[in-house]
C-alpha cells in the first residue's frame, strides 16, 4: 500500500518542480518589468538631485556625486519660478473642480438614471454627443464668454465649467446609478423621502466607488490641464503647475534646467499618488462596477 | 448623507469659490484708469524675456501716464495664446515673434500696426541701430517692427578636444580666407571617433547653419526664388530639384553619412535629449550655432572658444542673423504709448542694463553691444566682437522672419528630411517629393 502511494506520488514531484520553476521565471520577468518601470522614476529622482554641471555630464550618473538638495529649495525661493504659488493654484483648481464635477455630474446622472420622461433618451444622447466636440472647437467661444464676464486672468474660468457637469462623468455615473435597485427608492418614498433626499441621502452614500473614480479622474484632468490655463492666465501669480513647468523649458537660449524640472515633476506627482493611494480600493471597484476603463 | 455633511460640503464649495476669486488679479485688462494708459507687453515666460518686469518701475517713474503690464506664455504655447487673444479682441499692445511664427507670418495675417505715422523724429542712429538692421522690418517703406536684440550664427568649439587632437584653434577673423569649409571638415575628421559605443563616440562638427531650408544658402544655392525677399515672403518658385540645391544638401548630410564627422540624430538625442544641443555633452568639436548658446557657456563642462563660421562656396553669406524686433499689434488702442515703451527698451542705458538682467541677450544698440562682448567668462571680448562684426557683415536674416507661414514650411522640412538625417533615404530621393508638397502647401496658405 505504502509502495503504491509512493509510486503514485512520483510523477507529482517534477510537476511541483516545474511549477516552482515557472514561478521563479514569472517572478524574474516581473522583477525585470518592475525595474524597467522604476528606471524613469529613479532617473527623475537622481536628476532632481544633480547640479547643472553634473546634469550635463555624459555618460549620465545614476547616483549623483553630490546630492543637490538645494534644487528643491530653489523651486520655492526663486522668484522667477514661483513654484509654491503655482502648486497652491493647481490645488485650488483641482479640489474645486472635483467638488464641482462630482456634485453637478452626479445630479444630472441621477436624473437620467432614475426618471423616465418624454425625450429623456434623446437628451441623454445629446449630452453624450458633446463628447465628440474637441476642446479647441469650444475654446474661442468659451474664452470670449469668460473675457466678457471679466474673469480673464483668474482661476474661475478653469473651475466654473466643472460646476456645469461633464458628459463623460454623467455617462459613468449613470451606468452606476441604474444598477441601484428600485426597491430601495420605493422604500425611501414610503418612508417619506422627497426626490432630492433620494439623491442626497440614498444615491450618493451608496455610490462611494464611482464617486471616487469621478473624483480621481477629474482631479487628474484638472491637475494636468495645460491648454485652458495658458489661454486664461496671464500673470505668473495665477499660473498653475503645468504652465509653470512648461515655462521652465521655454528658453531656447539657455540650458534647460532639467534638474529643477525633475524636482518639480517629483513634487507634482505627489498629490496624484496620495489621492490614488487613499482611494485605490474604491477606484478599482468603481471601474469594475461601471465597466469603464 | 447626513445634514451635517451636506452643509460641510456646501461650505467647502463656497470657501473654494471665494479663495479662487481672491486669487484672481481682478480680471479685465483695465486699460484706463483716469488718465493712465496700460500697455500690455506679451512675452515668453522665460527669465531672458520676463526680465523686462524689472525695468517697469523705472519706466513708469519716467512716464507717469503709462503703466506696463507683462503677460506671458510658455514658448510652445506662445502662438496659440496670441492667436486666441487676437480672436477675442483682447490682444496685447507690444510683442515679438518669439514663438514658431515669424515676422512675415504676422505681417501677412494683418496682425501688425504700421508704426511709420508715429515715428516722426525717430532716428535709428540715435539708438545706435545700424540702418540695414532697422530696414529688416520695413515693407514698402513702412516700419512694422523696431529691432531689440540681434543674434548671429557663430562657431563654438571645444578647446579640450582641439588640444587633445593637437589642432590650432580656428580664427575669429572673417577676412581670414584660409579658414574654409573643407578645412573645417579636415579638422573635424581629426577629432571624430565614429563608434557605436556612445561613451567612446565623438564628432568633429555639428553644422547647424540656420533652419534646414536656409542651409543651402551657405553653399551658394537658394531653395526659394529671389522674389521671396521683395514680395512679402511668398516664393513664386521652389528650387529644391535644381542641381546646386541638391549638391548643397548632399554636402550638408554628407557630413553625417559620407564623411561621418557629424553626429546622427540618434546620437544627438542620446547625449542631449529630444531638443538639447549635443555640443553641451562635450563630445562635439565644433558647432555652428546661434549665438544664444554663448549665454550658457559658463555652465559647460569644458573650455569653450568662439570662431568665425568658415568660408563656404557663398562668398556673401556666412551667418544667419536673428534680429528680434518689437511689434505693436494692429488692435492696440495706445500705439503712441506703446512706442514710448519700445523706445525706452532700446536706449543705450536700458540695453546695457538688459544684458545683465536677461543673462546675456545681445543688444541691437551697438554702443551697448560693447558691454555685451565682455559678458562671457573665459572668452576674450575682442574675439567675440570680431566674430559678431564679421557675422553682421556676412549675415542674412533668418528665413523664419522673412517667409510667410514659416512655421508650416519649417515643419514640412523637418518631417520630410528626417528620413535623410536618419540615413534611411538619399537626398535625391526626398527633395522632389518635398518640392511637390511645398508647392501644394504654398498654394493653399498663400491664396
Using 50, 70 and 90 to split pLDDT, how confident is the model at A282?
A: confident
The C-alpha atoms of residue B270 and residue B167 are separated, in whole angstroms, by 27
The C-alpha atoms of residue B28 and residue A3 are separated, in whole angstroms, by 94
A contacts of B271 (beta carbons < 8 Å): 58
The C-alpha atoms of residue A238 and residue A94 are separated, in whole angstroms, by 14
User: Quick one: angle between helices A208-224 and A83-114, nearest 10?
Assistant: 140
Which CATH homologous superfamily contains domain B32-148+324-380?
A: Periplasmic binding protein-like II (3.40.190.10)
pLDDT digits (tens, 9 = 90+) for B50-85: 999 999 999 999 999 999 999 999 888 898 899 888
ipTM above 0.90, yes or no: no
* 3-state secondary structure labels for all residues of chain A: CHHHHHHHHCCHHHHHHHHHHHHHHHHHHHHHHHHHHHHHHHHHHHHHCCCHHHHHCCCCCCCCCCCCCHHHHHHHHCCCCCHHHHHHHHHHHHHHHHHHHHHHHHHHHHHHHHCCCCCHHHHHHHHHHHHHCCHHHHHHHHHHHHHHCCCCCCCHHHHHHHHHCCHHHHHHHHHHHCCCCHHHHHHHHHCCCCHHHHHHHHHHHHCHHHHHHHHHHHHHHHHHCCHHHHHHCCCHHHCCHHHHHHHHCCCCCCCCCHHHHHHHHHHHHHHHHHHHHHHHHHHHHHHHHHCCC
| pLDDT score for A61 | 83
pLDDT digits (tens, 9 = 90+) for B105-145: 899 889 999 999 999 889 999 999 988 889 889 988 899 99
pLDDT digits (tens, 9 = 90+) for B172-222: 999 999 999 999 999 999 999 988 777 788 999 999 999 999 999 999 999
Which residues 329-368 of B have a C-beta within 8 angstroms of A? Answer: 359, 361
- Rg, chain A, Cα only: 26
Using 50, 70 and 90 to split pLDDT, how confident is the model at A290?
A: low
Residue B168 gets which letter from DSSP?
A: P
Q: How far is CA B133 from CA A84, A256, B28, B82, B322, in A?
A: 42, 30, 37, 26, 10
Three-state SS for B390?
helix
Q: Is the pLDDT of residue A181 over 80?
A: yes
pLDDT digits (tens, 9 = 90+) for B88-108: 888 999 999 988 888 988 998
A contacts of B50 (beta carbons < 8 Å): 80, 236
Mean pLDDT, rounded, for B306-326: 94
| pLDDT score for B232 | 82
Q: Is the pLDDT of residue A65 over 90?
A: no
Is residue A12 exposed (0-12), middle (13-18) or buried (19+ Cβ within 10 Å)?
exposed
The C-alpha atoms of residue A83 and residue B115 are separated, in whole angstroms, by 39
The length of chain A is 293
| pLDDT score for A80 | 77
Residue of chain A with shortest Cα separation from B51: A80
B contacts of A243 (beta carbons < 8 Å): 45, 73-74, 77
Cβ–Cβ of B273/A159 closer than 8 Å? Answer: no
Instruction: Annotate B54-84 with DSSP letters as a single string.
Output: GGHHHHHHH-TTEEEEEEEE-GGGHHHHHHH
Cβ–Cβ of A96/B20 closer than 8 Å? Answer: yes
To the nearest whole angstrom, how far is the Cα of A249 from the nearest Cα of chain B?
A: 8
Residue B412 gets which letter from DSSP?
A: H
pLDDT digits (tens, 9 = 90+) for B185-196: 999 999 999 887
| pLDDT score for B368 | 93
**Of B19, B49, B74, Cβ closest to residue A246:** B74
To the nearest whole angstrom, how far is the Cα of A255 from the nearest Cα of chain B?
A: 6
**Chain A with chain B: Cβ pairs closer than 8 A:** 159
Please, what is the average pLDDT of chain A? Answer: 87
A contacts of B44 (beta carbons < 8 Å): 247, 250-251
Using 50, 70 and 90 to split pLDDT, how confident is the model at B275?
A: low
| pLDDT score for B127 | 95
Which residues 32-51 of B have a C-beta within 8 angstroms of A? Answer: 44-50
To the nearest whole angstrom, how far is the Cα of B24 from the nearest Cα of chain A?
A: 4
The C-alpha cell of A91 is what?
Answer: 490645488
CB contact at 8 A, B370 and B388: no
Angle at A37 between CA A36 and CA A39, to 5 degrees: 65
A contacts of B71 (beta carbons < 8 Å): 153, 234-235
Is residue B415 exposed (0-12), middle (13-18) or buried (19+ Cβ within 10 Å)?
exposed
Q: Is the pLDDT of residue B320 over 90?
A: yes
| pLDDT score for A286 | 61
Q: Which of B52, B74, B203, B375 to mutate to test the interface with A (most CBs of A within 10 A)?
A: B74
A contacts of B46 (beta carbons < 8 Å): 247, 250-251, 253-254
- Bridge partners of B193, per DSSP, are B202
Question: Within an 8 Å CB–CB cutoff, is residue B8 touching chain A?
Answer: no
- Beta strand B32-33 with B36-44 is antiparallel
The C-alpha atoms of residue B89 and residue A129 are separated, in whole angstroms, by 30
| pLDDT score for B19 | 47
**Of B45, B81, B282, Cβ closest to residue A250:** B45
Query: Where is pLDDT greater, at B100 or B160?
Result: B160
Using 50, 70 and 90 to split pLDDT, how confident is the model at B25?
A: very low
Q: Is the pLDDT of residue A73 over 80?
A: yes
**Of A143, A250, A255, Cβ closest to residue B44:** A250
B contacts of A201 (beta carbons < 8 Å): 1
Q: Is the pLDDT of residue B240 over 80?
A: yes
Using 50, 70 and 90 to split pLDDT, how confident is the model at A247?
A: confident
Q: How far is CA A226 from CA A152, A158, A221, B247, in A?
A: 16, 11, 10, 44
| pLDDT score for A12 | 56
Q: Which of A95, A197, A250 to mutate to test the interface with B (most CBs of B within 10 A)?
A: A250
The domain segmentation of chain A, as residue ranges, is: 14-71, 72-290
| pLDDT score for B27 | 37
What is the CATH T-level fold of the domain B153-321+384-445, as seen in this structure? D-Maltodextrin-Binding Protein; domain 2 (3.40.190)
What percent of chain B is predicted at pLDDT more than 90?
A: 66
**Of B48, B84, B293, Cβ closest to residue A139:** B84
The C-alpha cell of B89 is what?
Answer: 479682441
Q: Long-range contact list for B268-274, CB < 8 A, 24+ apart?
A: B268/B206, B270/B198, B271/A58, B271/B198, B273/A256, B273/A258
**Of B1, B28, B273, Cβ closest to residue A204:** B1
B contacts of A249 (beta carbons < 8 Å): 74-75, 275
Residue B147 gets which letter from DSSP?
A: E
CB contact at 8 A, B262 and B255: yes
Residue of chain A with shortest Cα separation from B40: A234
Nearest to B203, CA basis, from B226, B219, B185: B185
Nearest to B396, CA basis, from B324, B325, B327, B316: B316
Cβ–Cβ of A253/B292 closer than 8 Å? Answer: yes
Q: Is the pLDDT of residue A150 over 70?
A: yes
- Beta strand B32-33 with B66-73 is unpaired
To the nearest whole angstrom, how far is the Cα of B196 from the nearest Cα of chain A?
A: 14
**Of B77, B199, B300, Cβ closest to residue A230:** B77
Question: Within an 8 Å CB–CB cutoff, is residue B296 touching chain A?
Answer: yes
How would CATH label the architecture of A72-290?
A: Orthogonal Bundle (1.10)
Cβ–Cβ of B50/A80 closer than 8 Å? Answer: yes
Positions of CATH 3.40.190.10 in chain B:
32-148+324-380, 153-321+384-445
| pLDDT score for B24 | 40
Amino acid at each position: 500500500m505504502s509502495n503504491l502511494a509512493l509510486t503514485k506520488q512520483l510523477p507529482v514531484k517534477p510537476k511541483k518542480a516545474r511549477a516552482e520553476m515557472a514561478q521563479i521565471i514569472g517572478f524574474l520577468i516581473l522583477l525585470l518589468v518592475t525595474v524597467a518601470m522604476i528606471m524613469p522614476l529613479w532617473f527623475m529622482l537622481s536628476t532632481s538631485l544633480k547640479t547643472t554641471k553634473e546634469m550635463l555630464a555624459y555618460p549620465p550618473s545614476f547616483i549623483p556625486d553630490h546630492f543637490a538638495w538645494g534644487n528643491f529649495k530653489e523651486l520655492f525661493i526663486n522668484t522667477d519660478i514661483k513654484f509654491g504659488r503655482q502648486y497652491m493654484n493647481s490645488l485650488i483648481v483641482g479640489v474645486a473642480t472635483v467638488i464641482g464635477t462630482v456634485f453637478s455630474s452626479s445630479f444630472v446622472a441621477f436624473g437620467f438614471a432614475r426618471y423616465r420622461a418624454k425625450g429623456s433618451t434623446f437628451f441623454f444622447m445629446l449630452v453624450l454627443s458633446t463628447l465628440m466636440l474637441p476642446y479647441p472647437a469650444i475654446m474661442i467661444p468659451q474664452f470670449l464668454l469668460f473675457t466678457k464676464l471679466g474673469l480673464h486672468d483668474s482661476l474661475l474660468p478653469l473651475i466654473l465649467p466643472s460646476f456645469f457637469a461633464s458628459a463623460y462623468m454623467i455617462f459613468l455615473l449613470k451606468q452606476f446609478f441604474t444598477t441601484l435597485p428600485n426597491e430601495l427608492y420605493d422604500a425611501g418614498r414610503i418612508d417619506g423621502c422627497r426626490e432630492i433626499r433620494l439623491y442626497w441621502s440614498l444615491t450618493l452614500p451608496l455610490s462611494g466607488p464611482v464617486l471616487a473614480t469621478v473624483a480621481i479622474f477629474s482631479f487628474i484632468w484638472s491637475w494636468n490641464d495645460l491648454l485652458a490655463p495658458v489661454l486664461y492666465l496671464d500673470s505668473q501669480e495665477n499660473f498653475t503647475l503645468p504652465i509653470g513647468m512648461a515655462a521652465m523649458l521655454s528658453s531656447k537660449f539657455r540650458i534647460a534646467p532639467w534638474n529643477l524640472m525633475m524636482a518639480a515633476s517629483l513634487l507634482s506627482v505627489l498629490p496624484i499618488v496620495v489621492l490614488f493611494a487613499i482611494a485605490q480600493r474604491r477606484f478599482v471597484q468603481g471601474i469594475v462596477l461601471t465597466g469603464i476603463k | 448623507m447626513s445634514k451635517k455633511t451636506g452643509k460641510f460640503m456646501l461650505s467647502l464649495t463656497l470657501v473654494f469659490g471665494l479663495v479662487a476669486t481672491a486669487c484672481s488679479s481682478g480680471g479685465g485688462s483695465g486699460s484706463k484708469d483716469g488718465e493712465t494708459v496700460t500697455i500690455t507687453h506679451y512675452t515668453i515666460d522665460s527669465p531672458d524675456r520676463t526680465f523686462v518686469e524689472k525695468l517697469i518701475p523705472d519706466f513708469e517713474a519716467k512716464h507717469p501716464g503709462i503703466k506696463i503690464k507683462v503677460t506671458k506664455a510658455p514658448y510652445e504655447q506662445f502662438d496659440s495664446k496670441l492667436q486666441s487673444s487676437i480672436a477675442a479682441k483682447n490682444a496685447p499692445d507690444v510683442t515679438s515673434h518669439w514663438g514658431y511664427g515669424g515676422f512675415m507670418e504676422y505681417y501677412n495675417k494683418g496682425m501688425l500696426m504700421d508704426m511709420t505715422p508715429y515715428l516722426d523724429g525717430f532716428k535709428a542712429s540715435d539708438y545706435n541701430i545700424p540702418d540695414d538692421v532697422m530696414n529688416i522690418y520695413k515693407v514698402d517703406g513702412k516700419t512694422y517692427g523696431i529691432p531689440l536684440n540681434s543674434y548671429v550664427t557663430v562657431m563654438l568649439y571645444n578647446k579640450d578636444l582641439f588640444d587633445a587632437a593637437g589642432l590650432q584653434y580656428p580664427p575669429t577673423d572673417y577676412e581670414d580666407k584660409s579658414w574654409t569649409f573643407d578645412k573645417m571638415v579636415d579638422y573635424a575628421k581629426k577629432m571624430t571617433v565614429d563608434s557605436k559605443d556612445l561613451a567612446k563616440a565623438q564628432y568633429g562638427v555639428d553644422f547647424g547653419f540656420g533652419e534646414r531650408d536656409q542651409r543651402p544658402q551657405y553653399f551658394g544655392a537658394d531653395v526659394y526664388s529671389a522674389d521671396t525677399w521683395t514680395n512679402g515672403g511668398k516664393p513664386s518658385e521652389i528650387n529644391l530639384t535644381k542641381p546646386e540645391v541638391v549638391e548643397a544638401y548632399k554636402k550638408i548630410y554628407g557630413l553625417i553619412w559620407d564623411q561621418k564627422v557629424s553626429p546622427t540624430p540618434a546620437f544627438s538625442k542620446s547625449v542631449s535629449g529630444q531638443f538639447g544641443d549635443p555640443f553641451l555633452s562635450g563630445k562635439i568639436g565644433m558647432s555652428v550655432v546661434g549665438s544664444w548658446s554663448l549665454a550658457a557657456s559658463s555652465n559647460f563642462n569644458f573650455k569653450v572658444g568662439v570662431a568665425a563660421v568658415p568660408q563656404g562656396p557663398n562668398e556673401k553669406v556666412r551667418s544667419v542673423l536673428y534680429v528680434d524686433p518689437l511689434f505693436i499689434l494692429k488692435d492696440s488702442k495706445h500705439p503712441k504709448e506703446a512706442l514710448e515703451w519700445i523706445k525706452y527698451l532700446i536706449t543705450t542705458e536700458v540695453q546695457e542694463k538688459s544684458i545683465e538682467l536677461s543673462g546675456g541677450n545681445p543688444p541691437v544698440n551697438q554702443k551697448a553691444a560693447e558691454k555685451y562682448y565682455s559678458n562671457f567668462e573665459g572668452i576674450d571680448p575682442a574675439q567675440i566682437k570680431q566674430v559678431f562684426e564679421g557675422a553682421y557683415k556676412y549675415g542674412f536674416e533668418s528665413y523664419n522672419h522673412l517667409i510667410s507661414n514659416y512655421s508650416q514650411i519649417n515643419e514640412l522640412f523637418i518631417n520630410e528630411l528626417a528620413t535623410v538625417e536618419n540615413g534611411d533615404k538619399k537626398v535625391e530621393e526626398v527633395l522632389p517629393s518635398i518640392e511637390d508638397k511645398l508647392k501644394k502647401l504654398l498654394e493653399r496658405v498663400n491664396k
